[in-house]
Amino acid sequence: MTQYRPVWAPDGVEIEKPSTARMYDFYLGGSHNFAADRQLAARTIEAWPDVPHLCQANRAFLRRSVTHLASLGVDQFLDLGSGIPTAGNVHEVVHAINPDARVVYVDADPVAIAHSKALLAQVPEAAAVYADLRDPDAVLDSPEVAGFLDLARPVALLMFAALPFVPDSDDPAGIVAAYRDKTAPGSYLALSHGTGDYRPEAVRRVEDVYTQASHAMRLRSRDDISALMDGYELLDPGLVDIILWRPDPQSPPDPLGGDVTRYSMFAAVGRR
Ligand SMILES: C[S@@+](CC[C@H](N)C(=O)[O-])C[C@H]1O[C@@H](n2cnc3c(N)ncnc32)[C@H](O)[C@@H]1O
């Protein structure tokens, strides 16, 4: 069936292949998704009804961790697998603390980057680049990153819910280490990652659904996620369930009753 093609869809985008970026946009209540994305997202929610809540918890961790890093004086951010712009984008969170800080968004989804560029047209301190995060040299040498960030100074690398889309065969720990080794001492990594430790059956069902998407999804054990932070000294409270990373006392009551197994995501921030 041919699908209706909205005017905002960038040329060349495959609207009939569900995209992980657009499915995530759908879970967050966004409007930059197509029928194929919504259908597969609905199947994911059937397999794990808590998915929209865990996406919100991931965004809340983004806000808390980026606010913390900006408050520590970090003024350069590289957001890898940044997604389609939504409420509380990294540059907005950062600029509330330091309007001169620089942010570069990297994603391999054409809709995510087209919308990021449109949003950033009036924001000289931020840029977006269409690139594959699995190729650290290509990302770091791209004109948008090399011309915008000074990698001789500390930078915060952000990998929020992005590494589950890097299969084991692509060596996610090796990719993270390559970025780490190319950043200056005093740089940071903030990371969130889904886990199959608590609810392996439900996770298997979700992984199954995602075999139909643009990127397969691989949720990992706490030990494997901990290994991704190698070479970083973890800030308090370490690698923890996502809702337990420096929770905001002002936030409304937890919609899942604080049951960390229903979120099944770990989060950490480390300094190299
Ligand atoms: C679940 S979304 C997370 C978005 C955002 N980081 C957040 O936490 O709100 C995962 C994002 O990673 C992107 N992604 C997956 N594999 C990628 C790759 N190899 N290179 C760049 N981006 C990738 C997807 O396009 C998608 O936008």
Task: State the greatest distance between any 2 C-alpha atoms of the chain, in Å, as a whole number.
Answer: 53
Give the mutation target among 133, 137, 158, 269 for probing the ligand 1 site: most ligand atoms within 8 A of CB: 133
Pocket of ligand 1 (CB under 6 A): 20-21, 24, 58-59, 62, 81-83, 106-109, 112, 132-134, 160-162, 165, 215
Q: How many CB atoms lie within 10 A of CB 16?
A: 12
Q: Are 35 and 9 in contact (CB under 8 A)?
A: no
Q: Where are the domains of the chain?
A: 20-241+260-271
Gap between the Cα atoms of 194 and 153, Å rounded: 30
Structure tokens at 260: 């960390």
pLDDT tens-digit map of 97-144: 999 999 999 999 998 999 999 999 999 999 999 999 999 999 999 999
**Which SS3 state, helix, strand or coil, does residue 228 take?**
helix
Domain 20-241+260-271: CATH superfamily, name plus number: Vaccinia Virus protein VP39 (3.40.50.150)
Q: Please give the pLDDT value at position 10.
A: 72
Q: Please give the pLDDT value at position 1.
A: 47
Residues of the chain short of pLDDT 70, as ranges, are 1-8, 12
